[in-house]
Amino acid sequence: MSTQTQYKDLEPDETYAFKPEDLEEGEMILNMGPQHPSTHGVLRIELKTDGEVVNDARPHIGYLHRNFEKHAENIDYQGVIPFTDRMDYVGSMANSLSYAVAVEKLMGIELNERVECIRVIVSELQRIASHLLAIGTYGLDIGAFTPFLHSFVEREKILDLFEWLCGARLLYNYNWVGGVSHDLPEGWTGRAKVFLDQFSPVIEELDELLSHNKIFTARTATVGIIPPELAVGYALTGPNLRGSGIKWDIRKEDPYCGYEKYDFDVPVGQGRYGPIGSCWDRYYVRVDEMRQSVRILRQALDQLPAEGDVHESVPKRVKPKPGEAYGRTEAPRGELGFYVISDGSLIPMRVKGRSPCFVAMSIFHEIAKGEMLADMIAIIGSLDIVLGEIDR
């Protein structure tokens, strides 16, 4: 295939999916983004609006694209991990965990129980932190400012724990192929338990403050309905799929890191204030998931084996045999998978990141049709997208 090296100059109009000549009487093209306070990043959505009603929508992504997959083909296996951290930058622990699981699957590395337990602890803490951000900003999208700051206070405490653990607050580079970078510091588990005791009532408080507010339910419980068939067809995963009432959680279906040892429920959307699969259902699945994460964390902190070297299984040189593996984990936003192909060298031949947000965003035009302008924000927020992961 020829590799062209010339680019052509495009008129700005050529980047529009909707053409002015196709508009009906009274329709208008409205660009939401790339600079917009509620698109959760650098996302541009082209809306065909008729007054307040949105007739059609097309998302334009790629403003944060840095081609992580090309980076990965030029650096050794361990070196990919910092790049994965920067995909979903509010759920970094889960990203590196997923990549590590994929490479370990490829190399057939078995981990000791302490490492597995630590990974469960950090990924559940990360899930709580990520969901706190999701529901806080969702309140902000709907116009309630206060829950946002209250949830940030709690998120901050988790970030403090992570900082104590590995020195970083956002991009941790913590899960390595075959282990984790640092063992838990002395006293860390005790502090984590103190956090959990203090955090459990806060979930109920946030619940009372926002979840069942009349205005909030009126704004969210009847918009952005994703029927179960559509959700499966678009391969939604995580809270977005479960919000449509489908019980599917990688932690249960394809357990990794010993998740089968923990007792927890998989919350699904109940359709309490409207049809199943609404924005409110997706939001509330996240609230319920935080409760379940607390349950898992309590068990994990109690079961944590005292003995075990976290670097025991870390290979001196990561050099898998030729082959391929697809490793997947339940990240806060859904199934995060890495498809890693090795050609036997020190550098991966191909790393494909399967991003849950990318898939979630691809359904947007289906559910946005016929809703109102203000609902766009409610839908984007309920899908809980992170543009760093969509664009990779």
Partner 1 sequence: MSLDAAAVQAKIEAKFPGKIPSAELEVVDPFLFVEVDAIVDVCTYLRDDPELAFDMLHCHSAVDYLPPKNPEEARLEVVLHLTSLKHRHWIVIKVKLPRANATMPTLENVWPTANWHEREAFDLFGIQFEGHSDFRHLLLPDDWPGFPLLKDWVWPEEWHGIAVKPTAKMAERAQQGEQIGIGPFD
Partner 2 sequence: MALKRPALEATISNALSALVVGGAAGAVVVIALIPMIAGLIRDGLAARLTPTMTSVASIAIGVGATVFLITQLPIFLIWLERKIAAHIQDRLGPMRVGWHGVLQSFADGLKLLFKEDIIVDGADKFLFKLAPFLTIMGAFAAFAVLPWGEGLVISNLNIGLLYAIAITSLGAIGILMAGWASNNKYALYGGMRSAAQMVSYEIPTAIVILSVVVQVGSLNLSDVIAAQQGGVGGVTNWFIFRLYGLNVIGFILFFICGLAETNRNPFDIPEAESELVAGFHTEYSGMRFAFFFLAEYGAMFFVAALTAVLFLGGWSGPFFSGPLVLFVKTLALVFVQMWLRWTLPRLRVDQLMALCWKYLIPISFVVLIAAAIDGVVGS
Catalog residues that contact partner 1 under the rule CB under 8 A.
1, 3-10, 14-15, 17, 58, 61-62, 65, 67, 69-70, 73-76, 78-79, 81-82, 105-106, 173, 176, 181, 230, 232-235, 237, 246, 248, 253, 314, 317, 323-326, 328, 335, 337, 339, 341, 343, 346-347, 349-350, 352, 354, 358-359, 361-363, 366, 391-392
CA–CA distance, 325 with 103 (Å, rounded to integer): 7
Q: Is 12 in the site for partner 2 (CB under 8 A)?
A: no
Per DSSP (E only), the strands in the chain are 28-32, 44-50, 53-60, 175-176, 179-180, 323-331, 334-342, 350-354
For the four alpha carbons of 72, 98, 155 and 118, in that order, the dihedral sign comes to negative
Q: Which of 376, 379, 385, 387 binds partner 2 (CB under 8 A)?
A: 376
Q: Is 194 in the site for partner 2 (CB under 8 A)?
A: no
Least Å distance, CB 49 to partner 2, is 9
Of 120 and 383, CB closest to partner 2:
383
Rounded to whole angstroms, what are the CA distances from 200 to 161, 290, 297?
17, 9, 12
Count, residues in the chain: 392
The one segment of 23-31, 111-119, 237-245, 306-314 that binds partner 2 by CB under 8 A: 23-31
Rounded to whole angstroms, what are the CA distances from 255 to 260, 310, 354?
6, 20, 18
Q: Is 30 in the site for partner 2 (CB under 8 A)?
A: yes
Instruction: From the list partner 2, partner 1, none, pick the one residue 170 interacts with, judged by a Cβ distance below 5 to 8 Å according to partner type.
Output: none
What is the residue whose two structure tokens read 């009847």?
Answer: 222
Q: Which two tokens stand for residue 26?
A: 């009274």
Instruction: From the list partner 1, partner 2, none, pick the one residue 235 interacts with, judged by a Cβ distance below 5 to 8 Å according to partner type.
Output: partner 1
Q: Return the CA Rg of the chain.
A: 22
Half-sphere exposure of 375 (CA within 13 A, CB side): 27
Least Å distance, CB 52 to partner 2, is 6
Q: Is 198 in the site for partner 2 (CB under 8 A)?
A: no
CA–CA distance, 391 with 64 (Å, rounded to integer): 5
Least Å distance, CB 381 to partner 2, is 9
Contacts with partner 2 in 136-155 (CB under 8 A)?
Answer: 139-146, 149-150, 153
Q: Is 58 in the site for partner 2 (CB under 8 A)?
A: no
Which string of x and - marks every residue 215-234 that binds partner 2 (by CB under 8 A)?
A: xx-xx---------------
CA–CA distance, 122 with 118 (Å, rounded to integer): 6
